[in-house]
Structure 1
Amino acid sequence: MTIIENNGVKTYQGDTFSITMTRYSDPERLNLARNAARYLGKKDIENTRRPLGIVRQGHVPEIFRGEIVEFEFNDVSKEVYDHLVTYTTRNMRVAGGNRALTSDDFTLPSDKLKDEGMVDLKVAESMENYKELLSLGETPQVARAAMPIAAKLNTFVFQFNFLTLGQAVFKQRIWEKGAQGNTVKVVQGMWELVHSVDPDLWNTFYEWFGTPATEWTEVRRKIKKKNVMLGDFIQLADKYAIDTHEQVTLEEFLNLVYGQTKSMW
């Protein structure tokens, strides 16, 4: 999986798909810096570290709603499209769909397959049924009733604001467990693209909305559920130190013992 840059436009090349980042509204973080200064009543409007502080300190992150990233998706399946379109706070959707256009190929699931050959055969049969209806003169919108969810859609465009990406899309599809395989791969590509522009910003979103934050929430849930007492915790920590001879921070130890998460599925 690689990122290719052509005339300043970046494309993530996945295994069976590609994503082109056609717009990124604030690559130098200057507009975010100005709005962060206005929000906090500060005069240094060019302080590009302040937006990161807003995320870290838990301030209302409204300033990130005004900045956008636009992605163009190529050879992405209907399944992934359906997962992305659920975000009602996305800014824009442009898709020809299968009312006027048709699909020509499909992609297999990226989840664990018990019999890849059989899955491939059955999906291919569905695709052939869809193509047969088209060849018999049925309209694309009628024929799509037989189209498999694994069918690749024609190029479509989604535009998301920074806040939706950080708080919802990345969080739910790659930072928490349970998302379906093809969706994970595509959203990971979106992450790689924005991270290549401003790693400090997106690393901060990850730290405070991603896996570390999810694990910390799980720590609190388990401590409350198990009614862990201080004495019991000290004994557990002492036993860990004796058994492993490792030096870890309190945060690392809490995450190790109580922070492991599982998919709800």
Structure 2
Amino acid sequence: MFDLDRDAILHHERLKFLDDVVPIREHLDNIEKFIRICYEEQGWHVAQSRRVIALRATDKERLSSAFKASLYLGKYRDMANTTRFLHNMVAAGHSYEPIRGESILFLFIGVGKTVYDHLVTYTVGRPTRIAGGQRANVPWGFELPVEAKNPDEYKEELDRIRNVIRLAKEDRAEQMQAARAKLPVGYIMPPFLMEFSEEALIKTVFRQRLFEKGAQGATVDIATDMLNACLQIDEEKWNFLIDYHGPHLQQWEKAMRTLRKEHYTVADLALKLGIPIDEVMQANLYDLLMESVGKLPPSMWEKQR
């Protein structure tokens, strides 16, 4: 039976919830109950990674993509071959059509508006977005930025959010759609849903928000949770996809561009790393390239730290 990990949400070090004005625990109890009824009891594998819950992955047991990959390749005798797409198509750089129509539905709880904005920019491969009617629903609190150096400086943001709720819901002096203009950028969204095709996840969302350097810290946290939830559902598939699209590809591309431009020899790499030439000749060539010419510069966020 699915049990919502409340501690991962309510006790997150950067989240400040407004329990005094929003019945958050009651909301979580109801969400847990209906995840069981609407998804788990219908046979879906529900997986939670901290603030992200994968409710439904359409490629159950990888059989749908197996059937489609078999049709694509004209292999009719073994259409339930669940490794064919990975080993015969991904590894060969062929079409990702078998998983383009397969999607994963994510529920986000305790996530700030900034992260929502970063994810909602993806429209291709995102068939579903349910954000709970932001004109009427109240925020749940405030999410401190990962990069915040002085957390105490953000205490007043909670009071700003309380005042918005009071203005719109208690005093009814303003409609929520007007009062929300007073909200700080980092307010915690009510729970929201986003669904992505598996192709969009591995080629775009995870690449831009996780594998490549430069994404904002809070967004990296949530993208990591999304990927971990995918791994819980099908570890073999997602590890295989990561191997072909993961963070090492950026290093490899930099290494190839540098070698082409600088015309380095093995001796040059040894000098660059400060390693005796004899040791370099016995070293793993891939690791040698990644540690020298493939080393990436720090991102903007890393420089600021």
Secondary structure at the counterpart of residue 194 of structure 2 = strand
- Asked if 1:262 corresponds to 2:260, the answer is no
Secondary structure at the counterpart of residue 186 of structure 2 = coil
> CA offsets per residue over residues 193-222 of structure 1, 9 Å max, x none?
110111111112211111121211111222
- Which of 45, 61, 64 is the equivalent residue of 2:79? 45
CA spacing shift, 1:129–1:202, aligned 2, 3 Å: same
Q: 1:195-214, aligned counterparts within 5 Å?
A: 195-214=231-250
Q: After alignment, is 181-190 or 235-244 more displaced?
A: 235-244
- Asked if 1:24 corresponds to 2:57, the answer is yes
Name the residue aligned to 2:48: 12
- Which of 120, 144, 165 is the equivalent residue of 1:85? 120
Secondary structure at the counterpart of residue 195 of structure 2 = strand
Q: After alignment, is 159-168 or 134-143 more displaced?
A: 134-143
Q: After alignment, is 66-75 or 94-103 more displaced?
A: 94-103
Name the residue aligned to 2:68: 35
Name the residue aligned to 1:252: 287
Secondary structure at the counterpart of residue 134 of structure 2 = helix
TM-score, structure 1 as length reference: 0.86
CA spacing shift, 1:244–1:151, aligned 2, 3 Å: farther
- Asked if 1:115 corresponds to 2:150, the answer is yes
- Equivalent residues of 1:9, 1:20 under 8 A apart: no
Secondary structure at the counterpart of residue 266 of structure 2 = helix
Distance 2:64 2:112 in 1: 35
> CA offsets per residue over residues 101-129 of structure 1, 9 Å max, x none?
11131110112x232211x2353354345
- Equivalent residues of 1:97, 1:153 under 8 A apart: no
Name the residue aligned to 2:185: 149
Unaligned runs of 5+ in 2: 6-34, 301-305
- Which amino acid in structure 2 is aligned with residue 235 of structure 1? A
Distance 1:238 1:108 in 2: 44
Q: 1:180-191, aligned counterparts within 5 Å?
A: 180-191=216-227
Q: After alignment, is 239-248 or 182-191 more displaced?
A: 239-248
Unaligned runs of 5+ in 1: none
> CA offsets per residue over residues 148-170 of structure 1, 9 Å max, x none?
12111111111111001100111
> CA offsets per residue over residues 51-110 of structure 1, 9 Å max, x none?
112122211212211101001111211111111111011111111142021113111011
Name the residue aligned to 2:230: 194
CA spacing shift, 1:242–1:251, aligned 2, 3 Å: same
> CA offsets per residue over residues 169-210 of structure 1, 9 Å max, x none?
111111111111111111111111110111111112211111
- Which amino acid in structure 2 is aligned with residue 173 of structure 1? R
CA spacing shift, 1:38–1:94, aligned 2, 3 Å: same
Name the residue aligned to 1:75: 110
Distance 2:119 2:299 in 1: 19
- Which of 265, 276, 283 is the equivalent residue of 1:242? 276
Identity %: 32
Q: After alignment, is 2-11 or 37-46 more displaced?
A: 2-11
> CA offsets per residue over residues 237-262 of structure 1, 9 Å max, x none?
45555279474322211111111223
Distance 2:293 2:157 in 1: 41
Distance 1:125 1:136 in 2: 18
CA spacing shift, 1:156–1:238, aligned 2, 3 Å: closer
